[in-house]
Chain A
Amino acid sequence: MTHTIILPVLLPLLTALVLLFGSRRSLAWKRGVSLAATAALLPLGLLLLQQTYSGAYGVYALGNWVAPFGIVLVLDRLAALMLLLTALLSLPALLYASHGDDHTGPNFHALFQFQLMGLNGAFLTGDLFNLFVFFEVLLIASYALLLHGAGPARSRAGLHYVILNLVGSGLFLLAVGTLYGITGTLNMADLAVRVAAAGPADAPLLRAAGLLLLVVFALKAALLPLYFWLPRAYSAASAPVAALFAIMTKVGVYSIVRVYSLIFGAQAGLLADTALAWLWPLALATLVLGALGALAARELRTLIAYLVVVSVGTLLAGFALNNNAALAASLYYLLHSTLVAGGLFLLAGLIRTQRGAEGDQLHPAAPVSQPALLGSLFFIAAVAVVGMPPLSGFIGKLLLLSSVPPGMQLIWLWAIVLGSGLLALITLSRAGSQLFWNTLEITPVAPRADRLRLAAVVLLLASAPLLSLFAEPVHRYTQATAAQLYAPAGYIHAVLGARDIPRLTIGPEERP
């Protein structure tokens, strides 16, 4: 029995507890522990990715209770990809936080680790109720992080965030309750089997529950009309927290992909493709409104927050296309958009500290102290996020555009993706020219950027050229991931394969 599958959950949890026990120790000690544990997630993520590379599933039955009765963690390609992505994003974010933002309130590092635990658990679990539990861990930790080093803007945006998400949690429970009431199970693989077998009498209730889940996930993912909380919340957060939050919307996207490919996917009988008809128009509308919001933004951080909304629209439009190539493209785009958005949030933090009282407002102000360096980094990030060649955003868009078969969908997707690309180009060229060119004749007084903070930004932004350069192997993996997702029989078999083992009469000693 290999326990590596559960380590991405337990390692952050234990680290958080250790940090709490040492809550009176020095900040340096906390930083060291937190960074070491987060760094360890990276080789762990690689190891798990390597385990799924062949297409094998890892199933971890908690408490040794066989599925569907106990909770299982399931490692497949998608889960491994998300775990690695979380590790790749969180280490630079933490590195950045370790040079300033972590001392504005108590227990930052413990909360950060709890957040990682929630993220990793959500990606690993194979149980719908357990997903709810990890959503709660995520939510409450992210709320605490969001309010960290509070201010009025942060508190207000944070309040909206937490109240809406609590309502979302309530809806999640309603949906899970309904599904459990009809199918009698919580295990996602088992749900997939039972939903597919549902008769016409039960189908409407299951559809209602399935779509209720879509509402919950759409709120998390920030899909129209439920994204309005995001721009304020993300732009109010401190730079490293905002960077980490780049993956929070992706948890919603992940859940949508997971649930609507596994449980309500193509093979779900009467409930096949429950969500797609809703996702397609909403995703495209999100894309358009996000791009317009970015154009209207008056602060760099708000602008980036809208770009996060744009990326969600792009990703879900790709998933709604419902084909292998489009999903593979979306997953590639997911990697790119998460890392680059994270890098941009960190960079915005650097720019903000160097521009004096004007912060990241997009109007003429004092120049930053390191215009060449920050300007170049901004240029690279902007090129990546707009989707201009030769960086990862371009490859992602290219993959997505070429994945759609000719027809009405093609016209809509191309027009909107390319049109919003043009809007983003205009938006970012204006922002960059405001920040770095249109400066007042003042000698900058702000100190130069901290080296490790710079390193954090560079690490995240390096993903753009690297993902582009190694597009082939990355895309091969996301293609395999998409293929695995669209063939959920493998998942179901891996989880439920041993369900017929009789275990009614065995005592504790003989438990398998």
Chain B
Amino acid sequence: MTLSLIIFLPLLGALLPPLFIRLGRTACAWSAALLAGTALAILLYHSPAVFAGETLVFTQPWLPALGLNFSLRLDGLGLLFALLILGIGLLIILYARYYLSEHDPMGRFYGMLLLFMAAMLGIVLSENLLLLLVFWELTSLSSFLLIGYWKHRSDARQGARMALAITGGGGLAMLAGILLLGHITGSYELSVVLASAELIQAHALYPVTLALILLGAFTKSAQFPFHFWLPHAMAAPTPVSAYLHSATMVKAGVFLLARLFPALSGTELWFFLVAGTGTATLLLGAYHALFKHDLKGLLAYSTVSHLGLITLLFGIGTPLAAVAGVFHIINHATFKASLFMAAGIIDHETGTRDMRRLGGLWRFMPHTATLAMVAAASMAGVPLFNGFLSKEMFFAETLHAGWMGEWSWLLPLLATLAALFSVAYSVRFIHDVFFGTGPRDITRKPHEPPRYMKVPVEVLVALCLLVGILPAWTVAPLLAAAAASTVGAELPYYSLAIWHGFNLPLLMSLIALAGGVILYLLRFRLFALHDRIFPLCDAKAWFECGLARTIAVSHQLTAWLENGSLQRYAMLLVASVLIVIGTSLWGTTLTGPVAMGTVDGVTLTGALVLGVSALATVIWHRRRLAALVLLSVVGLVVSVAFVRFSAPDLALTQLSVEMVTILLLMLALYFLPQHSPAESSTARRWRDGLLAAGAGLSVAALAWGVLTRPLETISGYFLEQSKPGGGGSNVVNVILVDFRGFDTLGEITVLAIAAFGIYALLQGLRLPSPTTDGEGRPWAEDRHPLILSAVSRPLLPLALMVSLYILLRGHNLPGGGFIAGLVTAVALILQYVASGVVWTRERLPFDYIKLTASGVLVATLTGVASWWFAHPFLTSTFEYVQLPLLGKFELASAMVFDVGVYLTVVGSTLLILANLGKLTLVSQPHEETK
């Protein structure tokens, strides 16, 4: 349990500094240090057990179905890394307190730093590989925030995004690798995975798994060819560079190599992938470091190079190489973090990091210079400093690498070459900054930094010396514990002594030291040569260029796909229909067993009229009024067809819908241009014509297929049940108000919403009113012809009576609320047309919104009423009543429902119409006032 506190305390701590900043900067730093310090104390409390060889495990299920558990593990390797993260982290907190200026938001800085710390601790303490990945990506995210801390600088923003894209992307590959690893071993728990080396390495998926996991590790640890993000991450404040980009985060990749060493290493593939990449990175980094004029740039490439060295060591794959790798991780973290902090001090005190402008700083800051020199000596691998010890081990291991065959001389040679460069750039770091002439062009007089800014450097430099001089007394137990859990087996014998006698590794060291100094002396010629050879070799430019090209291609693709043309989208929709129906029906027998009926003259004529008027609508669609008239012919023929095939209800409905629709369309047309311009090319028209014909044929084929098959539907039940169950002999109406009353309720709701929607849309709309029609003729002066109004007024009561009749008889005879509502609406619309909006509105003072809503409400409440009788929603009932004079007649609850339908239809039709009508009023106010 306390194990998880090591992670959760810094995580919690991430919230404190932004709050404590109100109490001042020192309090803010203390709040950050407090929880990190507590976490360190807990870690130390657990360390004796780890030194005794135990592995502490804590498990809390998270998503067990997936194998994702919150399980932690503290072993030697984890302990080593956790100590580095927390120890150096505390030093960084102290350092950053003095490094950050007054303008920098300190609370945010510490918050993000602690978030990173927690994530990093999570990586090294995870027992579950998926959990490790969770923390892995969290470090990428928090590193993104930290690199972009100085958000106003474009190099910081670009560096942050690039680091995130590369490390985050690598993390995604690693996720795939881990999933494969889990697939092979059946578990994501390290204890299982680490014990399954044989199973993993014999599996067919091993090469893919290894490659994917290595992608994650290499991107994180800035290995070639992904190394380029690291130098650009140096746009971050120096404490971040010191912490994330030298001591901890970039070590996550090599940590993973160490962590999975027992499971994945030892194969030829591992050797060539890991050692090969490590060697390339080692050389490339060392080479570039020498040619960087920026202090942090030098250190960044040096970090790349040292990470390559560690990778190479793990790639060699022998247990001793792994020990050397772990040892170098410790040493590199100490000397590199202190060098970064020294670079930060120099930057802080002089205002520049350019070595061409620096120089002679020994005079101004001897204390800092001494510290930097010790650390740099360690980096160069000078005896008595810790870097020397691990470098000696490294040289020895390159001599014993397997799999190289007759090329076995190559690795030691390359290692010596890289070390030579490493000496050269270390000398440059010291000599160009602290000695020689200078400084040049700096605005302030340099002096030693605040006392406490140097303390973290002093601590780390002291460690460099202690480890370098007394390795067996200091680092040995920690190294042994970490190395043991890396190798996963009995550790081979190794000696941490400074002196191993005259041997090949020592010779290599001496060559490197001497050669490095010579190289440094030749530096100006080399700089000139380098500038000639590598003028354009900038991976960042390639990355940005590639990204820009991807974005440009996405732009083009998206613009091409989405040209904003409704016609295009409709074409795609129709084409999809054509394809799915075509592929389904092609080559199958469409005609079913039912024989064709006889075709009589009347039906044929009707069909012809229908076809011709439909075609004519399409042909004359640019002449809108004509098209509208033709469209109404289509509707009328359909109504007639309903009559012909004995569907009087449908015919009535169709007829009245037709009238209302055409009227509304006429009103809308008034505001639109009378002609549509011809915009399509001939080819386009052919394409669309063919597509339309195809779609029409597809639908015809469906209809043909259905009509030639016997119809056995649930409608038989409706016919039987209509009278006994629904209480009405008009089956169509009983279906509408009873069997499928819920559909009707939905549809009248749709109608109502449409009306409200149109009402909302037309509110505040101002349209220019045309003064002439499409032919250029002025609209008639007489807006309300006398004859029309004279005829329409007496028609109204008649029409209302008819509609009432249709409504009441609907349950048993053709009719019903829908038709009745439309008839009423048509009669009222006629008043609007004949006498104008103002006149009609004065005489029809209804709130149409409420009328419509009350219709839906009546229908709904009829349904709810059946709850009273413990029946489901919309259960109908009916009763026959005997009344004097009228005789026996039926009262059905469904009829109330039908009244609701009626009200909705009337209300919504009039709501739409009245508001469209008002539009003409708004646009022609003078007409109305006249």
Closest to A293 in B: B558
Find residues 72-116 in chain B having any chain A CB closer than 8 Å to their own CB: 108
Which residues 130-180 of A sit at the B interface, judged by CB distance below 8 A? 130, 133-134, 136-137, 140-141, 143-144, 147-148, 150, 156, 159-160, 163-164, 167-168, 171, 174, 177-178, 180
Contacts of A61 in B (CB 8 A): 872
| Cα distance, A385 to B705, chains bound together (Å) | 47
CB of B618 closer than 8 Å to a CB of A = no
* A389 with B757: CB separation less than 8 A: no
Residue from A1, A17, A421 whose CB has the most chain B CB atoms within 10 Å: A17
Contact A13 B856 (CB under 8 A): yes
A202–B711 alpha-carbon span in the complex (Å): 12
- Closest Cβ of chain A to B518, distance in Å, is 45
Report the stretch among A38-46, A252-260, A396-404 that lies at the interface: A396-404
B-contact 0/1 string along A282-325, CB 8 Å cutoff? 00000001001101100000000000000000000000000000
Q: Is the CB of B702 within 8 A of A232?
A: no
* Min C-beta distance of A234 to chain B, whole Å: 13
Once bound together, how far apart are the Cα atoms of A130 and B741, in whole Å? 10
The chain B residue sitting closest to A187, CB to CB, is B714
Measured between beta carbons, the chain B residues less than 8 angstroms from A507 are 724
**B763 proximity list for chain A (CB < 8 A):** 105-106
B609 within 8 A of A: no
Q: Which residue of A lies closest to B705 (CB)?
A: A205
In the complex, what residues of A have CB within 8 A of residue B555's CB? 296
Question: Contact between B161 and A147 (Cβ–Cβ < 8 Å)?
Answer: no
In the complex, whether B845 has a CB less than 8 A from a CB of chain A is no
CB proximity of B164 to chain A, nearest CB, Å:
5
The residue in chain A whose Cβ has the minimal distance to the Cβ of B741 is A63
Q: Does B450 contact A (CB under 8 A)?
A: no
Report yes or no: B877 in contact with A508, Cβ–Cβ below 8 A: yes
Shortest CB–CB separation between residue A172 and chain B, in angstroms?
Answer: 11
Q: Do the beta carbons of B860 and A13 come within 8 Å of each other?
A: yes
Given the known inter-chain contacts A388-B141, A505-B724, please indicate yes or no for A160 contacting B569, CB distance below 8 A: yes
Known: A10-B864, A185-B713, A421-B172. A130 touches B746 (CB 8 A): yes
> Does A111 contact B853, Cβ atoms closer than 8 Å?
no
B876 at the interface (CB under 8 A from A): yes
- In the complex, whether B747 has a CB less than 8 A from a CB of chain A is yes
Q: Given A208-B584, A383-B141, are A185 and B860 neighbors across the interface (CB < 8 Å)?
A: no
Contacts of B864 in A (CB 8 A): 10
Contact (Cβ within 8 A) B65 A228: no
Is residue A429 contacting chain B, with contact meaning CB distance below 8 A?
yes
**A148 and B569 form a contact (CB under 8 A):** no
Smallest CB separation, A321 vs chain B (Å): 15
Q: How far is the CB of B459 from chain A (nearest CB, A)?
A: 33
Cβ distance A170 to chain B, nearest Cβ, rounded Å: 10
Say whether A472 contacts B580, CB under 8 Å: no
Instruction: Tell me if A372 is interfacial: C-beta within 8 Å of chain B.
Output: yes
Q: How far is the CA of A225 from the CA of B560 in the complex (A)?
A: 13
Number of B residues, CB within 8 Å of A = 124
When the two chains form their complex, are residues A226 and B573 in contact, meaning their CB atoms are under 8 A apart?
A: yes
Given the interface pairs A63-B738, A105-B760, A406-B183, the reply to whether A401 lies near B849 with Cβ below 8 Å is no
**Measured CA separation A323–B175 after assembly (Å):** 22
A29→B721 CA distance, assembly (Å): 46
A498 interface residue per 8 A CB criterion:
no
Chain A positions within 8 Å of B570 at CB level: 163-164, 167
Query: Do A168 and B183 touch (CB < 8 A)?
Result: no
Judge whether A370 is part of the interface by a CB distance below 8 angstroms.
no
**A471 CB–B CB distance under 8 Å:** yes
- Interface mask (B568-579 → A, CB under 8 Å = 1, otherwise 0): 111011101100
What B residues does A53 contact at CB under 8 A?
A: none
Contact of A17 (CB < 8 Å), options: B553, B559, B857, B866: B857
The answer on a CB contact under 8 Å between B853 and A130 is: no
Q: How far is the CA of A289 from the CA of B561 in the complex (A)?
A: 10
State in angstroms the CA–CA spacing of A64 and B739 once bound together. 9
Whether the pair B164, A425 counts as a contact (CB closer than 8 A) is yes
A21, A207, A383: which contacts B853 (Cβ < 8 A)? A21
Stretch of B132-140, B342-350, B642-650 at the chain-chain interface: B132-140
On whether A388 and B572 interact (CB within 8 A), knowing A114-B753, A418-B176, the answer reads: no
Q: A140-B754, A168-B573, A418-B175 are in contact. Are A399 and B66 (CB under 8 A)?
A: yes
Residue B62 CB within 8 A of the other chain: yes
- List residues of B (563-592) whose CB comes within 8 Å of A's CBs: 564, 566, 568-570, 572-574, 576-577, 580-581, 583-585, 588-590, 592
The verdict on A414 contacting chain B, using a C-beta distance below 8 Å, is yes
What's the least CB distance linking A225 to chain B, in Å? Answer: 5
Residues of A within 8 A of B724 (CB): 504-507
Q: Is A60 an interface residue (CB 8 A)?
A: yes
Contact between A17 and B581 (Cβ–Cβ < 8 Å)? Answer: no
Complex interface: chain A residues within 8 A of B856 (CB): 13, 17
A147, B576: Cβ atoms under 8 Å? no
Quick check: A433 and B573 within 8 Å, CB to CB? Answer: no
CB–CB B569/A212 < 8 A: no
Residue of B nearest to A474 (CB): B63
* A167: B residues at CB distance < 8 A: 570, 573-574
Within 8 Å of chain B (Cβ to Cβ): is A503? yes
CB atoms of B706 and A69 under 8 A apart:
no
Alpha-carbon distance between A21 and B144 when the two chains are bound, in angstroms: 54
Query: Contacts A164-B573, A185-B714, A209-B702: A504 and B720 contacting too (C-beta < 8 A)?
Result: yes
Proximity string of chain B (619-658) to chain A, C-beta cutoff 8 Å, 1 when within and 0 when not: 0000000000000000000000000000000000000000
**Partner pick for A71 among B179, B574, B742, B850, CB 8 A cutoff:** B742
In the complex, chain B residues whose CB is within 8 Å of the CB of A390: 134, 138
B211 → chain A closest CB, angstroms: 13
Residue A55 interfacial (CB < 8 Å): no
The answer, yes or no, to whether B381 is at the interface (CB within 8 Å) is no
Please measure, in the bound complex, the distance between the C-alpha atom of A422 and the C-alpha atom of B721, giving whole angstroms.
61
Assuming the contacts A64-B872, A472-B63, asked whether A181 and B706 have C-beta atoms less than 8 A apart, the reply is yes
A280 at the interface (CB under 8 A from B): no
Residues of A within 8 A of B702 (CB): 174, 178, 205, 208-209
Asked if B753 and A111 sit within 8 Å, CB to CB, the answer is: yes
Given contacts A184-B712, A433-B161, A475-B63, contact A10 B877 (CB under 8 A): no
The answer to whether B753 touches A141, judged by C-beta atoms less than 8 angstroms apart, is: yes
Would you give the 0/1 interface string for B711-751, flagging 1 where the beta carbon is closer than 8 Å to chain A?
11111011011001101000000000011111100110110
User: What chain A residues lie within 8 Å of B739 (beta carbons)?
Assistant: 63, 65, 69-70
Q: Bits for B838-862, please: 1 = Cβ < 8 Å to A, else 0.
A: 0000000000011011101100100
Q: State which residues 1-32 of A face B: CB under 8 Å.
A: 1, 3, 6, 10, 13-14, 17, 20-21, 23
Known A-B contacts A17-B857, A292-B558; the reply to A177 vs B706 at CB < 8 A is: yes
Task: Give complex CA distance A476, B61 in Å.
Answer: 14
How many Å from the CB of A14 to the closest CB on chain B?
A: 6
- Does B878 touch A at the CB level, under 8 Å? yes
Is B685 part of the contact surface with A, judged by Cβ < 8 Å?
no
Decide if A479 is an interface residue (CB 8 Å cutoff). yes
Quick one: given A114-B749, A182-B709, are A504 and B165 in contact (CB under 8 Å)? no
List 9 additional contacts besides A295-B554, A296-B554, A418-B175; criterion CB under 8 Å: A13-B856, A62-B741, A140-B753, A150-B761, A174-B702, A204-B588, A205-B585, A211-B581, A507-B724
14 A–B contact pairs at CB < 8 A? Answer: A60-B872, A150-B761, A177-B706, A181-B709, A215-B576, A232-B564, A293-B562, A296-B555, A296-B557, A399-B66, A438-B151, A506-B725, A508-B727, A508-B877
Chain B residues engaging chain A, CB cutoff 8 angstroms: 61-66, 68, 108, 130, 133-138, 140-141, 144-145, 148, 151-152, 154, 157, 160-161, 164-165, 168-169, 172-173, 175-176, 179, 182-183, 547, 550-551, 553-555, 557-559, 561-562, 564, 566, 568-570, 572-574, 576-577, 580-581, 583-585, 588-590, 592, 698-699, 702, 705-707, 709, 711-715, 717-718, 720-721, 724-725, 727, 738-743, 746-747, 749-750, 753-754, 756-757, 759-761, 763, 849-850, 852-854, 856-857, 860, 864, 866-867, 870-878
Closest 7 CB pairs of A and B: A144-B757, A181-B706, A184-B713, A211-B580, A437-B151, A133-B746, A389-B134
